[in-house]
Structure 1
Amino acid sequence: MAAASGTSTSALGRMWPWLAWALVILVADQVTKSLILDAYRLGDATPITSFFNIVRAHNTGAAFSFLADAGGWQRWAFTGIGVAATIFIVWQLRAHPEQKLFCFALSSILGGAVGNVVDRMMHGYVVDFLDFYARGYHFPAFNLADSAITVGAVCLVLDELLRMKKAK
């Protein structure tokens, strides 16, 4: 029984750096969103370059405003998905703390997902503020949480490709 407890404690101890990374992302995300909420009204924008603005946008939907006009139920559905993803990710971080790229990816997704869940719970929408555009096309506005989720997803794919290559 002591060996099982020691193994559990060891795995838990090895996952703390990944949880710390998720916390860094969460804090950076919430600080930047707070700055935008304090400095901008909905729809305000500041041009930064010929292809980038800082804006204040509210997203009641999912990625790229998917289901933004669904009537309100999506707030709770996406919050529930975020909570379920958090539980699953923490379980995976505990089970595989030695897999660095995998855990970096998951903890990046975790920090971003929790950041957006916090927004949904506090405001009823996610605060977006990064607006890229070219030749009249605007990519949907996004935030640091979305960026972390995207980087995490790319790293998950890369981790799997590397794992497959190593298995050959």
Structure 2
Amino acid sequence: MNLSLFKETGLRWLWLSFLFLIIDQVTKQWVVATFDLYESVQVLPFFNLTYVHNLGAAFSFLSDAGGWQRWFFAAVAFLVSVALIVWLGKTRLTEQKLCIAYALILGGALGNLIDRVLFGYVIDFIHVYYENWHYPAFNIADSAICVGAGLLIWDAFTNNNENSNDELSKEK
């Protein structure tokens, strides 16, 4: 194995993926050990810890599909994870936003993949609401994926400007 890949590419950010994977799995196991299914504890006037199982994807999409979705979403998460590792290996270490985005999405995808394979559902517990409006429960892995996706979008809008600035500074 070529160790320079870890020194010169985004693979150096795999530690961030593993950090979020561990935080995700530890918090989920804490919730399972502490709460009964559907038990909810108010933490703040707009935030509960509520233990639920999500058989589907985001917002419980396809949760009542009959079971086939477990392996479909597991396969998608696996393929996305492989693609993210490849992309990290091809991304320059200097492209930090992109590296962090890929690493966060990878950690989240692996966290939810583990749940799907082991349990057949994803453990969710973060419940945000305002009066009668309730956002679907989610977990640390989902949060990492969302932050990573946000960084990808930010990078898409700012990357050309950063590259242009790099080129201008080289010309001077």
Give unmatched runs, 5+ long, in structure 1.
none
Contact 1:52/1:131 (8 A) holds in 2: yes
Deviation string 1:65-122 (CA, Å, 9 cap, x unpaired) is: 0111011111000000011011100001001141111010000000000000000011
Equivalent AA in structure 2 for residue 126 of structure 1 = V
Structure 2 CA distance for aligned equivalents of residues 79 and 13 of structure 1: 31
| Change beyond 3 A, Cα 1:69–1:110 | same
Counterpart in the other structure of 1:9? 3
TM-score normalized with structure 2 length: 0.90
Contact 1:11/1:97 (8 A) holds in 2: no
Contact 1:41/1:56 (8 A) holds in 2: yes
Deviation string 1:5-58 (CA, Å, 9 cap, x unpaired) is: 8xx531233444311100000000000000000011111000111111001010
Counterpart in the other structure of 1:70? 65
Counterpart in the other structure of 1:117? 113
TM-score normalized with structure 1 length: 0.92
SS at match of 2:53: strand
Give the total of aligned pairs.
162
Identical amino acids, percent of aligned pairs:
40
Does residue 79 in structure 1 map to residue 74 in structure 2? yes
Equivalent AA in structure 1 for residue 4 of structure 2 = S
Counterpart in the other structure of 2:24? 29
Structure 2 CA distance for aligned equivalents of residues 161 and 138 of structure 1: 31
Contact 2:17/2:103 (8 A) holds in 1: yes
Contact 1:25/1:112 (8 A) holds in 2: yes
Counterpart in the other structure of 1:135? 131
Structure 1 CA distance for aligned equivalents of residues 22 and 11 of structure 2: 16
Counterpart in the other structure of 2:14? 19
Counterpart in the other structure of 1:103? 99
Question: Aligned to 1:144, which of 140, 146, 149?
Answer: 140
Contact 1:45/1:54 (8 A) holds in 2: yes
Structure 2 CA distance for aligned equivalents of residues 24 and 17 of structure 1: 13
1:163 deviation in Å? Answer: 1.4
Counterpart in the other structure of 2:169? none
Contact 2:84/2:102 (8 A) holds in 1: yes
1:166 deviation in Å? Answer: 3.8
SS at match of 1:68: coil
Equivalent AA in structure 1 for residue 45 of structure 2 = S
Equivalent AA in structure 2 for residue 111 of structure 1 = G
Q: CA RMSD, aligned part only?
A: 1.4
Does residue 51 in structure 1 map to residue 46 in structure 2? yes
